[in-house]
């Protein structure tokens, strides 16, 4: 793939007048100039359309599409993608911003790493653009267990095509569903650099999802398990691995006994689905889950889990893992 490919950036927006100009400017001021910006106005009732038109007048790279009815995010994403002319695609939000070299670095990484999908770290900012926290994301293999992709990413058009776009029935998890299904078929690569600013504020979808027992949180939870059920069925995940993933979603840990009891079956699944180069990373991920599962309660620690950790995961253990293994082995002795 050539390094000067057209990049299509889709920007879906509904009543985003507060931060929209900042978001658009961050797209148009990229050091990588060969872009098109497709703004999908989802029936906004504020000044969103006027702001978008002002930018379109001054930059021919900007195109605007107005939805005839409010279609929500996943449908708006598909509408924007259907208009895209680029072989490399991404989308951003009206309240977030790219750093100036973001697109350039992601394009170069796709070319240099022969990747299909890349994603990068980000800085969390507040309503006034004050920097709050830097998020260094985990490696792609973790995406089976939880959404680690974040909000700064770029992918080849074939990823979108083979995924059949974003699932419009999975509002609130349409992104995670897309990442997970894409990961099962394509090469993902994590760029360990901060390339994006992600804003948190009371009007954001993220805020509403995190609002306990809110309508959007309930939609999010319901659709998340629908998503998992569909992916589990399509790729024939072992029942035992399915149970561990769902348990992890609910408790942020797993039952270490169930993992070890079914470890060979799970390893066989990984080796049959993923490239050999990725297999070791998946086992590394399992190792971390096992350690956390063992350590979450004291009565699961001791000599037996110590030997199981060494036996099943020695090929992916680090120096710190061996130190942790010794703590697991001596836990009951030291507690007495």
Burial bucket for residue 320 (CB in 10 Å: 0-12, 13-18, 19+): exposed
Compute the distance between CA of residue 31 and CA of residue 34 in angstroms, rounded to an integer.
9
Q: What is the largest CA-CA distance in the chain?
A: 75
Q: Hey, what are 114's tokens?
A: 């022969």
The strand pairing partners of 37, in sequence order, are 9, 62
pLDDT at position 296, please?
85
pLDDT tops 80 at residue 13: yes
pTM exceeding the 0.95 threshold for the entire prediction = no
200-221 tens-digit pLDDT: 977 666 655 566 667 778 898 9
174-193 tens-digit pLDDT: 999 999 999 999 999 999 99
Numbers of helices and strands, H then E, in the chain = 14, 9
Ranges of each domain in the chain: 7-218, 245-335
Domain 7-218: top CATH class: alpha beta
């Amino acid at each position: 793939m050539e390094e000067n490919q057209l990049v299509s950036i889709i920007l879906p927006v509904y009543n985003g007048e507060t931060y929209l100009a900042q978001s658009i400017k961050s797209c148009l001021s990229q050091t990588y100039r060969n872009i098109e910006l497709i703004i999908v106005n989802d029936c906004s009732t504020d000044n969103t359309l006027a702001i978008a038109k002002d930018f379109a007048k001054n930059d021919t790279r900007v195109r605007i599409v107005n939805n005839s009815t409010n279609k929500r995010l996943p449908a708006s994403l598909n509408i924007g993608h259907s208009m895209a002319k680029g072989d490399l695609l991404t989308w951003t939000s009206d309240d977030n911003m790219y750093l100036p070299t973001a697109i350039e670095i992601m394009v170069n990484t796709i070319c240099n790493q022969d990747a299909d999908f890349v994603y990068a770290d980000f800085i969390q900012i507040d309503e006034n653009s004050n920097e709050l926290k830097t998020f260094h994301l985990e490696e792609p293999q973790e995406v089976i267990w939880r959404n680690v992709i974040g909000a700064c990413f770029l992918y080849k058009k074939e990823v979108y095509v083979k995924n059949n776009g974003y699932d419009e029935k999975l509002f609130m998890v349409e992104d995670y569903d897309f990442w997970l299904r894409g990961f099962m078929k394509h090469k993902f690569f994590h760029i360990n650099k901060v390339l994006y600013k992600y804003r948190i504020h009371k009007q954001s979808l993220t805020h509403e999802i995190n609002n306990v027992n809110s309508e959007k949180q309930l939609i999010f939870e319901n659709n998340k398990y629908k998503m998992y059920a569909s992916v589990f069925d399509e790729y024939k995940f072992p029942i035992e691995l399915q149970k561990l993933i769902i348990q992890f979603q609910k408790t942020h840990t797993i039952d270490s006994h169930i993992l070890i009891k079914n470890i060979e079956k799970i390893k066989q699944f990984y080796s049959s689905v993923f490239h050999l180069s990725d297999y070791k990373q998946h086992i590394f991920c399992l190792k971390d889950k096992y350690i956390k599962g063992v350590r979450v309660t004291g009565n699961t620690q001791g000599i037996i889990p110590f030997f199981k950790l060494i036996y099943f995961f020695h090929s992916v253990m680090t120096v710190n893992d061996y130190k942790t293994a010794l703590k697991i082995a001596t836990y009951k002795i030291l507690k007495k």
